[in-house]
Amino acid sequence: MHFEELIKTIKERRDTLKVTQDTLAQLSGVGLRTLKQFESGKGNPTLQTLQKLADVLGLQVSLKLKSTPAKR
């Protein structure tokens, strides 16, 4: 999952839950500006920020093995 997909996932999930950026910002404790920047593709959030958002949305940040190996 690259950047854009992560953003898309967050956005879609937020839409599904019918939550506005403003509300999500408040619930997660992340600044509204920060969330806006992230969702509009202009951010590079810290892991902590991403997790705060994911948590509230019922999502989980995870690391999984890629099907296509990268090394060698």
Partner DNA sequence: CAATAAAGAGCACAATAATGCACTTTGAAG
Partner DNA sequence: CTTCAAAGTGCATTATTGTGCTCTTTATTG
Q: Does 66 bind DNA (CB under 7 A)?
A: no
- Give 44-51 contacts, CB < 8 A, sequence gap 24+: 50/6
Is residue 10 at the binding interface for DNA, with CB under 7 A as the rule? no
> Which stretch, 20-28, 54-62, 63-71, contacts DNA (CB under 7 A)?
20-28
Residue 43: which of 55, 54, 31 has the closest Cα? 31
Cα of 33 vs its chain's centroid, Å: 14
Contacts with its own copies by CB under 8 A lie at 1-3, 6, 9-10, 13, 17, 19, 44-48, 50-51, 54-66, 68-71
